[in-house]
Each structure stands twice: as structure tokens, then as C-alpha cells.
Amino acid sequence: MAPWFEFPHEIRDVSAEEEKIIRKCVIGYTKPFVKCGKAGYVMPGAYRKYAEAIYNIKVRPDDVWVITFPRSGTTWTQEMVWLLENDLDYDAARSSPLHERFPMLEITTSIPEVAFELIKINFMNLADFQGLNEAVKYPSWKSIEEAPSPRFIKTHLPLSLLPPNLLDIAKVLYVARDPRDTMVSYYYLNKMVARGLMTGTFAHYWEAFRRDLLPWTPTISHANEAWEKKTHPNLHFMFYENMLQDLPAQIREVSKFLNKDISEVEIEKLADHLSFANFKKNKNVNNTAGDNNNVQFVRKGEAGGWKSHFDAKMEVQAEEYLNKRLRGLTLTYPTYDTGEECSRL
């Protein structure tokens, strides 16, 4: 019988001031948000009840997990991994949505409380988006626990909130991205999902992000947990920017990590399938809500896009944010145009 691990992290409500900042950027949540552990990972209040159950999901040797902070190349990596693990079966990939092939572990805890009833009646096609209809009927982690092997599991939770034996048993891929670009993409996704109901501006969103007050933040602590374990044989650490710069090279590295033999012709075909021009047209990965194309997971697929969104004040704040959080760490983020590592600003 598998051991049961006591959840080791304190979970506490955010302060009243922090709650106000968060609620300018997200809608539909009725319970107070919480912070978890020393890093203070922000999660919806529903997470408090289920943290220990998620921490104790039974890991299997043939599992493959993809872990990211939101908007860091998750979908891109999922499709790559699934195809490599399934003998490049493009027909099977085209016949089933990615969220069914590669479900998200904690999605049930992340659905706003107000949305539960709206999803059940499929308000504005919400039930079609990322399989939310099933996630409100039955906890996502229980569905995963009961799923047949091999399982492919996506999560935005950091390693410290996941089963402590995960790396000892399963293969894990972690993808990191420049936090500034992550924040911009995160903002646009929430804006699309809210469909005009989100009242917070880009400035509100940046303020919440730089203060580590959005769900799953702090992003640099999140990435650093995996970075510190990057030499573990069961962990493959990747950067989104490197995928943009040389996708075939990243496919080679991932296939090697997964112990998959793949020819150069197959690598080029997979890279073409994963190109953003094709990815944006692929409804099974760019998860639209039914026939409504207003909500799309795949947006621009770029690096450095934050430069066209930040004003001079935000640029200074971003430098301060990166400098403070990267101080004392070996983690650095690569630049897309030169392939060199960013200095710790």
C-alpha cells in the first residue's frame, strides 16, 4: 500500500489588502485566496481543502508530467510529449482534444465558485473550454488517479506542492519563460476567458503580478524549485525561448529524455506540426470554446513581447522585480535573439 504523506506546508489566507489587489484581476471567486508554504504560492481558496489529496496522488512509473507556471509553453510541450510518447500518431492527436489526452491535475480547485453553476448549464459555451464540464462534476485529481496507464499529466503547481516521490518514480518536464512575457500572456488569456467581465486593467494586472499576487505566483520561486533539481535524471528542464529559437533541437533533447528514437525526417515533421502557424489552426490544442474562437490558448508565440506593453515605469519596476527575486540564485533566463543568458537585472 502506498504511503500517505502529511501535507507539510502552511496554508493561510492572503491579507485584506492583497485580496483587493487579486480581485481586480480575477472574477467569480467567493472564497478568500490563500498562500501556501514559505514561498507563498497563491491559490484559490478551494485549494486549501484538497491540497493534501493532490499532494498524495499515486505516481506511476510510466507517468509523464509537464509542469509549468501558466503561459510558459505548456500546451506546446504537452503536444510534443504526447506525440513522442505515442509513436507520432498524428491521427490520434487530431481525433481527441489535448485536455483529454493530457489533463490538468488541479483544475477543479482553480475554477471560480461562481462558474460552477454556469459551466453546468454551459453558459457562453464554457463547458467546452478545457473540459471544464467534467472538472465540475468530479475532482480532476480523482479522474487522473482512476485513469488507465500510461498517464500524461499537466500541472501549474510547483514541485513542492506535488507528491514528494514524483521525481523518484515518473518522468517530469519543466518549462520556464521570461516572467515579463508570461505576465503579458497571462493577462490576455484571462481577458479572453472573462469576455469583457474583467474590470482590471493591464496596469492592475502588472501590479498584482509583480507583487506575486496572481494564482500560482511567485513565478521565479516556481521555476527555481525545478532549476535546483535540473540534474535529476527524471527531470528535464526547458526554456520557452529555446523552443522558439530552435524547436528541432528541443525535440531531439526531449526525445532523448523520453528514450524515444526519432529520425531527422520525423523531427522536421513534428516541428512543422508544432509551428505556431499550424498550432493556432489546431482546435485540439488551441482550445476554443465550441465554435467560438474568442478564447484561444495559443496567442502569439513570441519572446520579448513585453517590451511593447510596458511603459517606462513598468520597465523600471520589472528590473527591480527580477533583481530582487533572482538575487542569490543561479537561475537565469535566456534571451531569444542571441541565445545568451539574461543578466540578473
- Beta-carbon contacts of 328 under 8 Å, excluding residues fewer than 6 positions away, are none
d(CA 51, CA 143): 16
Q: What is the pTM of this model?
A: 0.90
Q: Give dist(CA 131, CA 105) in Å, integer.
A: 12
Question: Which of 118, 116, 100 is closest to 108 using CA atoms?
Answer: 116
Q: What domains sit in the chain, N to C, each tagged with a CATH number? A: 11-326 (3.40.50.300)
Tens-digit pLDDT profile for the chain (345 aa)? Answer: 678 999 999 999 999 999 999 999 988 899 999 999 999 999 999 999 999 999 999 999 999 999 999 999 999 999 999 999 999 999 999 999 999 999 999 999 998 877 666 665 554 445 455 556 676 778 999 999 999 999 999 999 999 999 999 999 999 999 999 999 999 998 988 887 766 667 789 999 999 999 999 999 999 999 999 999 999 999 999 999 999 999 999 999 999 999 999 999 999 999 999 998 887 776 666 554 344 444 444 445 567 789 999 999 999 999 999 999 999 999 999 865 544 444 333
Q: Is 37 left (phi over 0), alpha (psi -120 to 50) or beta?
A: left
Instruction: Enumerate helices (H) and strands (E) in the chain, giving the number of each.
Output: 18, 7
